[in-house]
Amino acid sequence: MAGVSYYAAAAAGTGRPSVVQFGAAPNRSRWVSRTRLRRRNAGGRFGLDSNSELQVDVKPSSGSMVEIELVATNTGSNLALHWGALQPGRRKHSILSFQSGSNSTLKIEIDNQGLESIEFVIVDEAQNKWFKNNGQNFQVHMRPPAGHHHQGQQHSATAGSIGRKNRDVMQLLSKNASTNDQVNKAAEATPSKCTVLDLFIKSLQEKHGSQVLCKKVFKLGEKEILALMSQVQGSTKVHLATDHVEPLILHWALAQKPGEWKAPPPGIVPAGSTLLEIACESPFSDAELNGLHYQVLEIELDDDSYKGMPFVLRSNQTWIKNSTSDFYLDFSRRTAKSSEVTLPFSFSPILAKNLLQKSSQNPMLIFFPCIKGTSDDSKGTAKALLERIADLEEDAQRSLMHRFNIAADLVDQAKDAGQLGLAGLLVWMKFMATRQLIWNKNYNVKPREISQAQDRFTDNLQSLYKMYPQHREMLRMIMYTVGRGGQGDVGQRIRDEILVIQRNNNCMGGMMEEWHQKLHNNTSPDDVVICQALMDYMNSDLDIKVYWDTLNKNGITKERLLSYDHPIHSEPNLKSEQKEGLLHDLTNYMRSLKAVHSGADLESAIGTCTGYTSESQGFMVGVEVNPVKGLPSGFPELLKFVLDHIEDKSVESLVEGLLEARAALRPLLLSSTERLKDLIFLDIALDSTVRTAIERSFENLNNASSEKIMYFISLVVENLALSTDDNENLLCCLKGWNHALEMSKHSDDQWALYAKAFLDRTRLALATKGEEYHDILQPSAEYLGSLLGIEQWTVNIFTEEIIRSGSAASLSLLLNRLDPVLRNVANLGSWQIISPVDVAGYVVVVDQLLTVQHKSYDKPTILVVEGVKGEEEIPDGVVAVLTPDMPDVLSHVSVRARNSKVLFATCFDPKILSELEQNEGKVLSLKPASVDISYREIPESELLVSSSIDTVDGQKAPSLSLAKKQFLGKYAISAEEFSDEMVGAKSRNIAYLNGKVPSWVSVPTSVALPFGTFETVLSDKINKEVSQKVKILTEKLDQGELGALSEIRNVLLNLTAPTYLVSELKEKMQSSGMPWPGDEGEQRWEQAWTAIKKVLASKWNERAYLSTRKVKLDHSNLSMAVLVQQIVSADYAFVIHTTNPSSGERSEIYAEVVKGLGETLVGAYPGRAMSFVCSKNNLESPKVLGYPSKPIGLFIQKSIIFRSDSNGEDLEGYAGAGLYDSVPMDKEEQVVLDYTTDPLVTDCSFRTSTLSSIARAGYDIEQLYGGSPQDIEGVVKDGKIYIVQTRPQM
């Protein structure tokens, strides 16, 4: 039909699509009005059926004309094209016929001016068969929709991509800042106030020794009534207590079966009672606890056959009930007698019931160690809140309306408990969402009432979101779990619209009617799945297997359908002629269901924020939602772009659009915006859609370039940062990935090494986040799970599932894909060998080196360890430590390994590590190369097992001795007085370097508190009490009580400085040109003295004490001097080994550098330092081995540092360095590091110059010691090198 132009015309006055009848077929003319998302294609290939395809090609013709060619393959009959040309808000329909043949062809030439797209379906006239695109119309996009392109600061969107704003990544920064931070902290620090009912329970347990068997709290408007059963000395009693003000009468009975009212025996009724025919009336008595008034009543039972106590209350002539039901205390939920299965007394009634039911089927279940009830189980939780939740769970199970209203009532208590309180709410809601808790139990409730309760709960959460920025991440997670809810018509539409659907589509009976009855009385999140299953069933040409597949994949079985109060017995049995109308109506209906039940449905969230009016006739007529005010310019068009591309197979443009929308939305989320909750749910939906889109892209990334994978990583890091409260580290990771991409595009030969550092840092950020979630959520999951009888497998994986539901899991998978690529490009191999030694031993797998560091293995052992921090000891008997963790090559544990001739290596390949773990218990021989380790299984006969665990390389470890140092009469000395008898090697070496190093190297001025000072101060009469306590604790320590170590350290902090020590130290510091802390006030001296005491007390830290014991050093002979130096406010800190410790190459210097102070290098701070080697023959050409991944730097402006300097740190054969503490007078500032602005990382000339200077300083110092390898620490400040200590390299 070349040369024919079609122009769209609007139906007069309707604003809706015009409807044009074609022929006699009743449904041909129906162009469905849709809210469902549609994929837009600028041409492409579509499947028609199993044998036929449709190829659509779009190409320009002349002027504004466009030619569209449609070719349908393998068709044997005539086809008709039902199509329409669309302008914004208008459409025109027509019908054309294909030229017949084995391949049917049709060409349309159309004037593109003003047109947005064409829509069409294809009909096989002979077989009356309609072809659609997955149940929807085919659509070919002609040009960008109007409003998608904006200039300047607006968002730019085209048919295929989104123009992202050029914004500084740090604009997305969130650091938990709060204008009322002190108020927030006070609120979190203040425990929730005890009510009189709490005090009543406590008095029963403490004063009377009562064992609480079961209890129940009921609401009386704003007040409460507590009913509980207790047992003391064989007597069973029911106690009722209430804070109700008006006098009350208890109208009660006993029951031996549910629903029964039976008058109690006269002998047990309380004084003043009146017996009735089937009940009894007893007055409450007034009482008081801690000045709080309440009413109480006690009933002593005479028989254990009663199952419960029904009751109502009367105040004057007003009857008070439990909503519309009687109150009921269920005795069957109490702890069983000793002859039956026994439960811990503090179990909730829900737990008792669940466990007793389950134990009847599996008696061992009752003894699972996870089932606890002691107060220790609640450590790390908002215990009172969780127990309150457990008390109210039975009420919550009546319906979702009850659950959400109870949750809304508990928000204040959760807020008062701070982060742990919100964690408790999240755990409870997650148990609910995963169907671990009952949603409805014989209670009819209108959908409107459920949505109103949801709305009330989420309104309360919204208020906290505004007030407490530091809890926004947790609040988002709760809201995601709960769903939006809504006042008024949102919930009611669920009830009303199903009737319209049934009437319009003539499906009033069977499964549809059963579903209607369920919806009418108790809608739930299951209805979203049921609706989707029905749509999938119809889209599959009524294949009932597809219906069941959708249900089962989402956890809904036949048994669950039958368990509803209004069960669904039937399968859908619909007709093909109902298909199109039902699909249209259910698509709309899904929006209503998701608007109430889903916290992450994108379409309904967008509709709620941007506004919508129903387009359909006779369906949801008059439903209108107004847009949120103040949305960014171009934001609705940006969201439309997202919806248009939601089903794209290539997700890159979609994810860019989603992230641009989240970034544009962020300023509104940080302010007290009107309808903030709607915007939060929109952001949650955008976040969730990013995750699903990324997961959908994994297959396409199988053969993707490294640049493509890095770009996707950057997108997911950005998404994760937008969902995280404290996101500075993630944003620095994002900047690093962006920089790595630029380096790769410009073929920088360092790009892979640089990217590997940010991969390691990103992994570390994910691990840190996982640990944070575990610490916050898992204790609450375990304690509440134990109270509610939740299945243990659900509790065990609770935190893991929370993490899996976010972007972190997708990010981890992407990192795993990129890691081997980077290692290959950067020639890193699968291993980093920290201490190269050929070894053989038995393989043992452990989680953390810290947990076994003091264990002794009686045979040569190869430890495969998940976690190594850097400060641990190597256990006796261990010949190798293999780990995926990445401690610094110069960390304490690395030095220990080299000194002890232990193979120590990091494995970067999870497959290799998994293979090693699978060899647990076997004997392996390991041989390290430069970047690899070869291993093989050997028979035990090849393994030489020493008769002593002290044997290393066939020789006994030497037993070292220390000569006790004496106090020589001086409390403080200058550097000129440093000698063997006064100070350790650390101080002496500094004094030796002073004046000998080149002029471009500086040595800080130093003074010291010499050996014997500590013992003299401790023996001073002003410290007599401290001395006596230390003596007692030392005796306990000598008897093997290691807990005495921390007690000794704490006691030593009470030491008082003698006046002569203060005066001598002041004189030495001032005469050496150092500032005296006391000149700034007495408080500053106290800070300095506290730091000194911490250094002296570190003689008793666990690692140092056990290390001396391991080599049989007499701990009492260990003397501690304190080296005092002014801190250099460092730009960088470094450690040099003048012989490469990994290879043993003496011609090569190895060094590590960190930004800020050196504590992050020598201490147990996560991440890796920048590392490099430099040939001593070419000090101008350092070679970078690895870029830094440490997320934190330590900085301090002006202060004094007090360094440990013992006589045990530099003994030959004993690596004592780093065992004792160095303490600055002032606390260091922790700064999240941005390496993209660090010239040491980004400026090649600066890096080469700085690293060369460090290497040259190391070489010159080594020469000062006659070529003896040195272990040197120093800093760089404004380009100048400062050496703070040197010692022989071990």
Nearest to 1005 by CA among 1017, 1016, 1015, 993: 993
Indicate the angle between helix axes 1044-1052 and 1024-1038, nearest 10 degrees. Answer: 170
Tokens encoding 567: 């069960």
**Contact status, residue 1135 vs residue 1143, Cβ threshold 8 Å:** no
Query: Residue 99 pairs with which residues in a beta bridge?
Result: 105
Tokens encoding 221: 């408007």
Indicate the angle between helix axes 676-697 and 447-467, nearest 10 degrees. Answer: 90
Catalytic hit among 516, 892, 1115, 1137: 892
**How far is the C-alpha of 258 from the C-alpha of 808, rounded, in Å?**
49
**DSSP secondary structure string, 197-227?**
HHHHHHHHHHHS-PEEEEEEEEEETTEEEEE
* pLDDT-flagged residues of the chain (< 50): 1-42, 89-95, 97-101, 143-159, 177-191, 335-375, 487-489, 615-623, 945-957
pLDDT of residue 450: 84
pTM listed for this prediction: 0.71
275-310 as b/e: b if 16+ CB within 10 A = eeeebbebbbeeeebeeeebbbbebebeeeebebbb
pLDDT of residue 1077: 94
Residue ranges with strand state E in 203-306: 211-220, 223-232, 235-242, 249-252, 274-275, 280-283, 285-289, 292-300
In SS3 terms, 359-415 reads as HCCCHHHHHCCCCCCCHHHHCCCCHHHHHHHHHHHHHHCCCHHHHHHHHHHHHHHHH
**Contact status, residue 633 vs residue 153, Cβ threshold 8 Å:** yes
Angle at alpha carbon of residue 539, lines to 538 and 543, rounded to 5°: 60
C-alpha distances in Å from residue 862, one per residue of 889, 895, 902, 921, 955: 19, 18, 10, 10, 19
Give the three-state DSSP class for 564: coil
**The tokens 């606390």 sit on which residue?**
1227
Rounded to the nearest 10°, the torsion over CA 792, 797, 802, 808 is: 180
**How far is the C-alpha of 275 from the C-alpha of 282, rounded, in Å?**
9
CB atoms within 10 A of CB 596: 28
Alpha helices in 806-959 (DSSP H): 807-825, 892-899, 910-917
Question: In the sheet where 933-937 sits, what is the strand order?
Answer: 831-835, 903-907, 876-883, 856-867, 839-848, 923-928, 933-937
Sign of CA dihedral 330, 334, 337, 339: positive
**How far is the C-alpha of 920 from the C-alpha of 1214, rounded, in Å?**
31
Nearest to 1048 by CA among 1067, 1027, 1069, 1074: 1027
Residue 892 is a catalytic residue: yes
CA 183 to chain centre: 26
pLDDT of residue 183: 33
CB atoms within 10 A of CB 99: 11
Rounded to the nearest 10°, the torsion over CA 206, 208, 211, 215 is: -90
Backbone angles phi, psi at 79, to 5 degrees: -115, 150
**Contact status, residue 1157 vs residue 1130, Cβ threshold 8 Å:** yes
Q: If 0-12 CB within 10 Å is exposed, 13-18 middle and 19+ buried, where does residue 171 land?
A: exposed
Nearest to 1122 by CA among 1180, 1061, 1174, 1044: 1061
With residue 91 as reference, give the H or E element that holds it: strand 90-97
Tokens encoding 1281: 């090198």
